[in-house]
Structure 1
Amino acid sequence: MEAIQEQEPARTRERRYEALARVVAAPLHRYLLRRAEAGQVDDVLAETMLVLWRRLDEMPGMPEGAAPGADDVLPWCYGVARGCLANARRAERRRLRLVERLTRAASPSPPADPGDHGELHDALGTLGETDREVVLLWAWEELKPRAIAEVTGLSPNAVSIRLHRAKKKLAAALERKNGGPAGQAMGEGRSDR
């Protein structure tokens, strides 16, 4: 008996909401079509209808037993839709800022002084993406071939081969640009003591 009494208010609430939805769904859809991007309209409308369900008892102009009049409930519903649209826009701006930050973080940073290492960066640009990543992990991150293999998904042997070939290709590219052998000049970087 108690379960039946609890179900009756739930059924009454559902009927009230269905009556409201019949009155406001189409006008709210038109309202959002004029204000939101086409891809957002259905999501914002769904969010608006969810808020209307949650706040059904707070809605002004919503009669208990009869169907609501559009003039009585639409202004309040438009206010809810406006708030939901503002939330969707804020969420989209946050998402775009996050994508921008992640893109900046993932892109290789330019050299601090391009004049000092411009030739090296040009030579790195001649390598394929995987070979360049292998060389950069080895040179900048100081990883061993086994660790590079774990990062790239290659076998350690494949990393060693790619690294050897890429270093040879870089040396040849730098030699062509400078007109001399790549690497340190004789005596450079050594103590003469």
Structure 2
Amino acid sequence: MNVSSGTEYHEDRFRRFYAGNFDSLLAYALRRVEHPEDAADIVAEAFLVAWRRRHDLPADAEARLWLYGVARRVLANHQRGGTRRQRLGERLRQQITAAVAADPGTEVPERLAVQAALARLDEMDREVLMLTVWEGLEPREAASVLRVSPATFRTRLSRARARLRGLVGDDLGPPGHVLDALTAPAPKEGR
């Protein structure tokens, strides 16, 4: 038998194998997954493995059992992947919740007014305020980010706070809102 007729033989055999086993393998997968689209993925992956190994398929009666074994391993991988995706999703939800809770802007009923005022400030004033409040940087750290001296940064911070106060006013509500954080004295730094 020449190479091309050997290849044709394996391809024809695979077509018959596929047609004869597709429905039963799909039913197998559907009974084991929560979502039908997952069953379709499992069947497709199992037949992909079978196609790649078509030259090594066992004899007809054994081939069906072999295919179920392949589908079982594909299903196990799929379920492990689903578990990993769920764990990752949960970790991301926790991180997002923590990040939102840590954002001082989410604690303020008047945050929209503060955000609108921030948007009206020039870019440098906004960046100075956001580096210290939202990013939590010390003035010397923020000065390093902006590549200015700490003294220059503290001057810019004081002016930016005054401009923001001028835009939103002093009476936004009870203590604890963003304006209090923005107008709090800068922490003392060691020299």
1:89 and 2:79 aligned: yes
Matched pairs, number: 149
Distance 1:25 1:121, change over 3 A: closer
Contact 1:51-1:80 at 8 Å conserved across structures: yes
Q: CA deviation at 1:42?
A: 0.8
* Counterpart residue number, 1:153: none
Aligned to 1:48, the other structure's residue is in SS state helix
Distance 1:99 1:19, change over 3 A: same
* Counterpart residue number, 1:140: 134
Equivalent-residue separation in structure 2 for 1:130 and 1:78 (angstroms): 62
- Quick one: which amino acid aligns to residue 107 of structure 2? D
- Superposed counterparts of 1:104-123, under 5 Å: 104-107=94-97, 108=99, 110=101, 122-123=107-108
**What is the CA deviation profile of residues 51-80 of structure 1, one whole-angstrom value per residue up to 9, with x for unaligned ones?**
1112234433x2xxxxx35xx432221111
Equivalent-residue separation in structure 2 for 1:129 and 1:75 (angstroms): 67
* Counterpart residue number, 2:21: 24
Stretches of structure 1 lacking an aligned partner (at least 5 in a row): 63-67, 112-117, 148-160
Aligned to 1:40, the other structure's residue is in SS state helix
Q: CA deviation at 1:86?
A: 0.9
**What is the CA deviation profile of residues 126-183 of structure 1, one whole-angstrom value per residue up to 9, with x for unaligned ones?**
3149939976545232569xx8xxxxxxxxxxxxx9x95588548533xx314xx954
Contact 2:113-2:168 at 8 Å conserved across structures: no
| TM-score computed with the length of structure 1 as normaliser | 0.58
Q: Alignment partner for residue 12 of structure 2, among 11, 15, 23? A: 15
| TM-score computed with the length of structure 2 as normaliser | 0.58
* Shift >6 Å, 4+ stretches: none
Q: Greater relative contact order: 1 or 2 (C-alpha under 8 angstroms, separation 6 or more)?
A: 2
Equivalent-residue separation in structure 1 for 2:114 and 2:52 (angstroms): 53
Contact 1:28-1:78 at 8 Å conserved across structures: yes
Distance 1:45 1:171, change over 3 A: farther
Tell me which protein shows more helix as a share of its residues. Answer: 2
Distance 1:93 1:126, change over 3 A: farther
Contact 2:26-2:43 at 8 Å conserved across structures: yes
Give me the CA root mean square deviation.
4.1
* Counterpart residue number, 2:89: 99
Distance 1:109 1:92, change over 3 A: same
1:34 and 2:31 aligned: yes
**What is the CA deviation profile of residues 84-118 of structure 1, one whole-angstrom value per residue up to 9, with x for unaligned ones?**
1111111122222223333333341645xxxxxx9
Contact 1:127-1:166 at 8 Å conserved across structures: no
Equivalent-residue separation in structure 1 for 2:164 and 2:55 (angstroms): 72
